[in-house]
Structures are given as structure tokens and as C-alpha cells.
Amino acid sequence: MLVKFWKEFKNSPVNTIAKWQDMRFLWLLMAFVSITLIIVAHSLFQHYVYMAPCEQCVYIRFAFFCMFFGGLIAAINPKQIVLKITGYVLGFWGIIQGIGYSLKLNAIHSAVHSDDPFGVQGCSAEPMFPFGLPLDKWFPDWFKPTGDCGYDNPIVPSDVELSSLQQWFVDFYNDGWYLIPKYHFINMAQACLFAYVVCFVLLSVMLICWIKVKVSKR
């Protein structure tokens, strides 16, 4: 099957991508990637490694949830225009929101780790979600900020006894979350920004190919 898809793609990449976005697997892939990142952030880093989420962190989590629901809705039947457009709207809206939140968190992270911590703005314990949704009250474990923006070091409660694996993770991320902690290479905000940009490019390619094929058939 992969060989067949590759041959189709080589012969006509635009038509092939337009055909793919009419199938469920690309939309389910977007939903899967989004929910996987959310679960890893919540279950592994927040609960297992004791990294408390900040205001911008829960906003980033919300943006991934928008992408998740967009993927699920479109995957119901990608050939249905209304469902597909809903998927695109939620996907792009989540991505654009997420890019903004990631850029803001990265600016805060840079400020708190510089010689001018007074430049820190935009971090509150009372989040304001789009449309006034009180997600921090409905789902506090997922959307209530309990940490400080820019500081993502593990904070282990004094009454908690860590397993050997937990202790390894806590020591590994002792200076905060980085893709490569030893070198402080790519912080969490930058990693999220990269993920959103990649999703934006891929979703844009899908949309452009679909529109181009639709127009060419008229």
C-alpha cells in the first residue's frame, strides 16, 4: 500500500494530497499527535515529574485540544464539506493560538533567565480562556495553572518518596524542561512552537491542494 501511495504521490503530488485529506488517517493523525502531547505533558511531566503548569502552559494545552477535536470531527467523514471545514477551522485556530501562546511563553522564559526579570509580563494564576470558558474550574487538574511562567523545574512535595525512575527524571530536568537539558537546548516553549509551525505547514498544504483540485475541476 505504501508503494502504491508513493507512486501516486510522485505522479501527481497535488492530487494525491487532495485525495489523502479526504481520508480519515491524516485527520486521525492530527488528533493522535495532539492528544499524545497533552497526555505526556499532563501525566508524565505534571504528575510524574512534578512540573507545575503555568498560565501560558495551560493555554498551549487548550490549543492542542482544539486541534484534537478538529481532527476528530473531520475524521467522522472527511468527504463531508461541513465536517472537513470544521476540522480545518479548529485545526488552524488551535495552531495560530498555540503559536501566540508559545511565543509569549518563550519571551517570558527568556526574561526570567536574563539579567532583567522585571520584563516578565503575562503570567497569572487566573487564566482567561477564549469565549470565557471556565476550564480551570471545570477541569482544574488539566487547566488550572499552579506554576510560574518561565520556571518549569520539578518541584517535588516534601512528603513524596520518589521511585528510582522518577528520581532520574527529576534530576534530568533539574534545570527545567529542555529538549537536551545538559546544553539547555530548545526549551518547552520553543519545542511547542516548532510543533505548531510543522502542523501549520502540513495543514496548509492539505488545504491548498484540496482547493486547487476543487477549482481545477470546475
Q: Which residues carry out catalysis?
A: 54, 57, 61, 123, 149
Residue for cell digits 509569549?
A: 104
Cell, residue 111:
526574561
For residues 64 and 98, the answer to whether their CB atoms sit within 8 Å is yes
Q: What is the DSSP string of 8-77?
A: HHHH-HHHHHHHHTTSHHHHHHHHHHHHHHHHIIIIIIIIIS-----HHHHHHHHHHHHHHHHHHHHHH-
Query: Residues 179-188: contacts with CB within 8 Å, 24+ apart?
Result: 187/106, 187/109, 187/152, 188/57, 188/105, 188/109, 188/152
For residues 90 and 66, the answer to whether their CB atoms sit within 8 Å is yes
For residues 105 and 188, the answer to whether their CB atoms sit within 8 Å is yes
d(CA 120, CA 1): 52
Residues with Cβ within 8 Å of residue 103, at least 6 apart in sequence: 189, 193
The residues with which 185 forms a beta bridge, in sequence order, are: 180
